[in-house]
């Protein structure tokens, strides 16, 4: 599965045609300002290609989780303004609470080749996420004369929403954008066709979130490393005392099964051998905290593990540096805390030094790599948390399945 057999923007003749593009402009905002424009930057190759080729480009995206219909703080106005600073063409923001309202229709009717209209947040329409999103999907398609749709929002590709999959029923031609292509080639190659040794590193809090990922990756990789909060459920499954650490008691038997599965398949399953402990979880999360380090089987009953320890950092780093392909999803501890970020930093450093294809599977590990200054040392940082996890599970993503094959 090294190459995606889906039509992409290169396969389209778009001059003078209207093209609806689903982008991921779900950017972090504070006080009405964008705090990180990575997702807008990531969409530029596709947008610029369509501009150069003379398309009339209509962009749609969600932002945040508006609960009660339209809310100003979730408007895409700031994203449209930032895009206008980054491209060499006219950008019009169509503010409509219904998304496809009079402003959108007027803006699209008046646009010239190579210009861009940005629609309001798709989630302002409750129908975006519901079974009866067909009418909304049809309205989106009608805006571009039911002609061309490009899917370039990998972060939303695991959702069968009106603006990701529904709209494809009503347009003549569909394709993926450059970002989608890149995501699928990196993640697809890593899982289906990796250069070995292939090491997968899983962290984060809950085992339940990664049940199928653990099982699927054990079959594909040579070494599976488990850190973060989910490691304590595995340690408990081995019969260790884990104190007040985060444990998913319903998944202890599952963890035992995975330990047995690794043995049966002859795969290495690496768990923490020492851990950084404290009396309680830091509150606020970045508060000063007193910690100590103990062996993984010596956690006192009244203490909790909040990061991997130095011996584990060395163990995990050695495994990562020996790899030719590494996929990492989920931090090793409470990385938002200066004292408890050391394990996550150690993994970042190991990946930066590895002579390997290094892929960060979105979510918190992407945030960690970016915030800790290691982003440019990685081969690929996924823009999709949930989507990349489901892809690593081996699931078919609805936002990819609906695109026409070449």
3-state secondary structure of 43: helix
- Give every CB contact of residue 46 below 8 A, 6+ residues apart in sequence: 9, 21, 23, 150, 152, 177, 178, 179
| Catalytic residue from among 101, 126, 386, 394 | 386
Q: What's the Cα-to-Cα distance from 72 to each of 23, 117, 172, 356, rounded to whole Å?
A: 20, 19, 34, 44
pLDDT digits (tens, 9 = 90+) for 292-309: 999 999 999 999 999 999
Question: Known binder of ligand: residue 26?
Answer: yes
pLDDT (0 to 100) of residue 1 = 35
Q: Are 166 and 133 in contact (CB under 8 A)?
A: yes
pLDDT band at 2 (very low <50, low <70, confident <90, very high): very low
Binned at pLDDT 50, 70 and 90, residue 3 comes out as low
Which pLDDT does position 377 carry in this prediction?
A: 94
User: Above 50 in pLDDT, residue 23?
Assistant: yes
What pLDDT, on a 0 to 100 scale, did the predictor assign at position 4?
64
The per-residue pLDDT for range 369-404, each reduced to its tens digit, is 988 899 999 999 988 878 888 888 888 889 999 999
Ligand-binding site membership of 159 (annotated): yes
Residues forming CATH 3.40.50.1260 domain(s) in the chain: 9-181, 194-392
Residue 67 marked in a binding site: no
Q: Is 394 annotated as a binding residue?
A: no
Pairing of strands 304-308, 148-151: unpaired
Looking only at the bridges linking them, the beta strands covering 274-278 and 292-295 are antiparallel
pLDDT exceeds 80 at position 362: no
- Reduce the DSSP state of residue 148 to 3 states and report it: strand
39 is catalytic: yes
Query: Catalytic one among 229, 243, 363, 384?
Result: 363
Task: Report the residue count for the chain.
Answer: 406
206 part of the active site: yes
Collapsed DSSP state (helix, strand, coil) of residue 325: strand
In the set 206, 238, 311, 321, the catalytic residue is 206
Whether 105 shows a pLDDT value over 70: the answer reads yes
Query: CA 212 → CA 154, 216, 249, 394, distances in Å?
Result: 20, 6, 17, 9
pLDDT for residue 361: 87
SS3 content of the chain, % helix, strand, coil (to 5): 40, 15, 40
Catalytic pick from 6, 39, 49, 182?
Answer: 39
Sheet holding 18-22, edge to edge: 91-94, 116-119, 56-60, 18-22, 148-151, 173-176
Query: Is residue 131 pLDDT above 80, yes or no?
Result: no
Tell me which CATH homologous superfamily contains domain 194-392: Phosphoglycerate kinase, N-terminal domain (3.40.50.1260)
> What mean pLDDT do residues 356-362 have?
91
Q: For residue 95, with 0-12 CB atoms within 10 Å meaning exposed, 13-18 middle and 19 or more buried, which class applies? A: middle
Structure tokens given for 132: 């009866």
What is the pLDDT, as a whole number, of residue 209? 81
Report whether 22 belongs to an annotated binding site.
no
Other C-beta atoms lying within 10 Å of the C-beta of residue 268: 14
How many percent of the chain have pLDDT more than 70? 98
Task: For the chain, report the end-to-end CA distance as a whole number of angstroms.
Answer: 14
Distance CA 123, CA 133 (A): 11
Q: Work out the average pLDDT over 266-283.
A: 97
Q: What pLDDT digit, counting tens, does each position of 135-168 carry?
A: 999 999 999 999 999 999 998 999 889 999 999 9
Determine whether 125 is an active site residue. no
373 is catalytic: no
Average pLDDT value over all residues in the chain: 93
224 is in an annotated binding site: no
**Residue 63 annotated as lining a ligand binding site:** yes
Does 342 belong to an annotated binding site?
Answer: no
This prediction has a pTM of 0.86
Question: What integer pLDDT is reported at residue 187 of this predicted model?
Answer: 87
Q: Over the stretch 196-218, which tens digit does the pLDDT of each residue have? A: 999 999 998 888 888 889 999 99
18: left (phi over 0), alpha (psi -120 to 50) or beta: beta
Is 65 annotated as contributing to ligand binding?
A: yes
Q: In the β-sheet with 304-308, what is the strand arrangement from edge to edge?
A: 292-295, 274-278, 304-308
Q: Which CATH superfamily is domain 9-181 in?
A: Phosphoglycerate kinase, N-terminal domain (3.40.50.1260)
Mean pLDDT for the stretch of residues 344-358: 95
């Amino acid at each position: 599965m090294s190459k995606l057999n889906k039509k992409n923007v290169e396969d389209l003749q778009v001059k003078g045609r209207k093209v609806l593009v689903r982008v991921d402009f779900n950017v972090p905002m504070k006080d009405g300002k964008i705090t990180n424009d990575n997702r807008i930057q990531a969409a530029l190759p596709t947008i610029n290609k369509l501009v150069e080729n003379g398309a009339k480009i209509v962009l749609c995206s969600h932002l945040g989780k508006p609960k009660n219909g339209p809310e100003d703080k979730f408007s895409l106005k700031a994203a449209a303004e930032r895009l206008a600073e980054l491209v060499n063409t006219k950008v019009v923001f169509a503010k409509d609470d219904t998304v496809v309202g009079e402003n959108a229709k007027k803006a699209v009717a008046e646009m010239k080749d190579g210009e861009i209209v940005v629609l309001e947040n798709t989630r302002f329409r409750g129908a975006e996420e519901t079974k009866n999103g067909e009418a909304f999907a049809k309205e989106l398609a009608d805006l571009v004369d039911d002609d061309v749709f490009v899917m370039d929002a990998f972060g939303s590709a695991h959702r069968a929403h009106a603006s990701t999959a529904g709209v494809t029923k009503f347009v003549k031609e569909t394709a993926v954008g450059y970002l989608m292509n890149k995501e699928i080639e990196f993640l697809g190659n890593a899982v289906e066709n990796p250069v070995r040794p292939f090491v997968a590193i899983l962290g984060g809090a809950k085992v339940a979130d990664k049940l199928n990922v653990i099982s699927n990756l054990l079959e594909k990789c040579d070494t599976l490393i488990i850190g973060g909060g989910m490691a304590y459920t595995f340690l408990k499954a081995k019969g260790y005392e884990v104190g007040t650490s985060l444990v998913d008691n319903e998944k202890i038997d599952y963890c035992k099964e995975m330990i047995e599965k690794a043995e049966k398949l002859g795969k290495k399953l690496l768990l923490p051998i020492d851990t950084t402990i404290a009396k309680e979880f830091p509150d606020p999360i970045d508060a000063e905290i007193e910690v100590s380090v103990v062996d993984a089987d010596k956690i006192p009953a009244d203490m909790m593990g909040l990061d991997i320890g130095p011996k584990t950092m060395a163990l995990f780093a050695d495994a990562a540096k020996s790899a030719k392909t590494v996929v990492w999803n989920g931090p090793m501890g409470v990385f938002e805390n200066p004292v408890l970020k050391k394990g996550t930093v150690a993994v970042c450093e190991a990946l930066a030094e590895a002579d390997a294809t290094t892929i960060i599977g979105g979510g918190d590990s992407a945030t960690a790599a970016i915030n800790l200054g290691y982003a440019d040392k990685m081969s690929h940082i996924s823009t999709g948390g949930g989507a990349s996890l489901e892809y690593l599970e081996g699931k078919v993503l609805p936002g990819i399945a609906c695109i026409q094959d070449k």
